[in-house]
Amino acid sequence: SQTIHQWPATLVQPVGSPLSLECTVEGTSNPNLYWYRQAAGRGLQLLFYSVGIGQISSEVPQNLSASRPQDRQFILSSKKLLLSDSGFYLCAWSGLAGNTDTQYFGPGTRLTVL
């Protein structure tokens, strides 16, 4: 069966520091991968998605970037964190099933920027 991992689970970082959040998927090949941010009372907002190694699409302009160095690895980064980057970050994966795709979510990383 497929599993998705995220780390760290929680992170407290000062403003202006760099960020690297990692997501890995096991048990599947060539998944679509997604980064979301969950804000209280606002649901989940898609930040980035990737359909393959090195292929990243951004949904919203922001202080963050994403990379996919390996098939089942997805990294969310920032060179300099802002206070507004605080939030709960979720990684998700889906198989290549066309328009009947279903996304499955990881446990998330809670980021606090001070």
Partner 1 sequence: AQSVSQHNHHVILSEAASLELGCNYSYGGTVNLFWYVQYPGQHLQLLLKYFSGDPLVKGIKGFEAEFIKSKFSFNLRKPSVQWSDTAEYFCAVTRFSGGYNKLIFGAGTRLAVHP
Cα(31)–Cα(73) distance, integer angstroms? 10
Sole binder of partner 1 in the list 25, 32, 58, 78 (CB under 8 A): 32
Using CB atoms within 10 Å of the CB of residue 4, give its burial: 0 to 12 exposed, 13 to 18 middle, 19+ buried: buried
Q: Is 44 in the site for partner 1 (CB under 8 A)?
A: yes
Q: Figure out which of the listed residues 108, 109, 113, 114 binds partner 1, where binding follows CB under 8 A.
A: 108
Q: Any contact of residue 29 with partner 1 (CB under 8 A)?
A: no
Does 51 engage in binding with partner 1 (CB under 8 A)? yes
**Nearest-angstrom CA–CA distance, 58 and 35:** 10
Query: Is residue 66 a contact point for partner 1 (CB under 8 A)?
Result: no
